[in-house]
Structure 1
Amino acid sequence: MMAADPQAQSSFITRLPYDIRAAIYKELWPSWTPRQHVVWHLNPAADETKSHLHREPCISRFQPHDELQDEIEALRQEKQVPFGEPLNDPAYRQRLESCWMNHWKCGERLDKELGKEMNVFYNTSIGGCWCDDKPKRDRDTYLPMLLSCKFISEDCLRFLYSTTTFVFTDMLALQSFVGHCQPPHASTPYKHLNPVIPEAFRKYALNFEVSLFLDFQLHLMCSVLDEDWTDYNEMFKFLQGEDALEPVSSTDPHNPFDFHWLHLDSFENLQSVKIWVAGRREGGMFSAVRLGLPINKVGVDSLTKSLSTVQKSNLIVLSTHLDDEIEPEDGYVQGTGDDAGAQIWKRGTGDRFHPGPRLTVALSDGPIETSETRVLHLD
């Protein structure tokens, strides 16, 4: 007769309910916070062995409206600057162009901790590893607990993944964690990205959030249109000094606006997915590629229809700009948010404030462009 597993007979497991065990785990990890950014530290020399995932605490909260635009409007009124005239404020200008988008507070927290500006990059996963620049802290006891026994290891994974809201602010980190719909082209930096896709993430995660630039679909090789391939090829030629490989675009490209590439159907316990689409393009290597159809021109009927084709779309809260024919001007769009579909929050037709041309490399050096008409930054 096989002896009973002593691990499964532990009083810690048999006598304490999960809620009590979870409270104990929380005390073991004082640096744990319930909201965590996930970024991909891409080695500048494209050394796969030195690229890795990294986490940073998130100090922002998801809000469907744009708090930053509201603050700058209050500043404009205070300074009595007419619409159409430049508004000069270095701090707010830097926040408008932050690669952290609606998580600009998190970017400022990191800059303060590192003692240098990390916002000069166009993407939160570009710029190499900053881990060695961070203040040294006592190491948490994650690994000892995860290695203690099979049951406690699984218990700890359940606690960590179910109580953490994972926040992604760039497509590089997002696709490293959830995977690709179509593998990246061999001429892009994405070729060095090997998705990790933690099993516990899909098994236990309840919530995650995604912030996207207006041109997010350009990062999805499954959605490349044939007529756009010329622009891609020119971009790759500029990066590599030679023509790209054969086009990866399909005769039947995937619809990027159904968010199928998030693989929501692979999650077992997911409760919410909150998506923010910015009013400007990312820039960087994709700036020369035509955007084609931005999300604000899709139309709410087509958008809701696209979302309805995806499993678990009712978990999605989407904050984006939409066409002026869609009401209300700001707020949840009528007819969305029922049990069968995603909730869509409209942030007008665009933004009234955009970062003007930089005078130097620093994000703070330049004006804030103002406009009474709400527009998108498509350049």
Structure 2
Amino acid sequence: MSSQSSQPSRSARPLPPFDPGDPLGIDDLLDPEDLAVRDTVRDWSARRVLPEIADWYERGEVPVRELARELGALGALGMPLEGYGCAGSSAVQYGLACLELEAADSGIRSLVSVQGSLAMYAIHRFGSEEQKQRWLPGMAAGEIIGCFGLTEPDHGSDPAGMRTHAKRDGSDWVLSGRKMWITNGSVAGVAVVWAQTDEGIRGFAVPTGSPGFSAPLIKHKWSLRASVTSELVLDEVRLPADAVLPGATGLKGPLSCLTHARYGIVWGAMGAARASFEAALEYAKTREQFDRPIGGFQLTQAKLADKAVELHKGILLAHHLGVRMDAGRLRPEQVSFGKLNNVREAIEICRTARTILGANGISLEYPVMRHATNLESVLTYEGTVEMHQLVLGKALTGLDAFRG
């Protein structure tokens, strides 16, 4: 067979143009359904959130119930879950949705993550069929908002030490305790609350109208201002026996929920980073100093190049983890890898973008400082930097550094 071919070699084919918005050609990894999901959420965010978000952030108020119903109509609540009105989307599609939502604001992505990846996921995976039928269809539609009560005032990174407890009283359960930093708490119709029992840590689906339950709003935040954050107070809340989630005993239940939510953060953080990077890139091409655009100076180009590398590496990492999740091969340690890297790099991208915008970088006319302050919360919740470092350290060495 001749080594010569009448067909042009692959190397001789014309290359596609370089796309500054997708310099690595990551879109080539996405199928048409992935792109359709991404574009639908992107269009909704541009139409519904971006025109209002600076005002919501400045006022510290957001129309959560209205947005939840709209997100439910999009199919964005409980996306990867099957049945009960949920979309049954792939993990990659859910990740793309998180990226686009957080490109608008971390608070909007948090609304979706807590609703779907924590509250709905807990009921879907660990709840009884009756609990699933009672709660999930309304939650998928955004008619019922859920929250997830694990963190306490004195127990964040070490949930095993939680003080919230539930005791049996005849056939009932009686819950007492406090939970802190709870997204959606003050607007929720159901709270998934984790508590110590004589049988170990158990989860409960708590109707928020139950006597003894209250969810005071946490105010005076400088981060995630376009998000409802609350304390949950349970003062001898009496629940029937069927309120307990039958499929979970011990910490594995809530921790598996956190793994699911952390996966969304791996994608979402890159949305905040992308929005900030794009704002800085556009600014650098139009802002003039010394008689030319600042994007023409070497130092500015170095900043843009370095942060483009980290941004798109982070998106590639998120996609890789999504493919593994869809294949049933994603380990919690790998999610820690993604959360640790992507949130940390996203903050640095935002900070560098702020320097390119100069004084304008602190203005709400641009998204950069809003994303940077939001990411300070994202860096802490669902596991701090230090906790994910120790998760990876244990996985790498086989030695547990959590307890001395």
Structure 2 length as normaliser, TM-score?
Answer: 0.24
Q: Relative contact order: is structure 1 or structure 2 higher (C-alpha 8 Å, sep ≥ 6)?
A: 1
Q: Which has the higher helix share?
A: 2
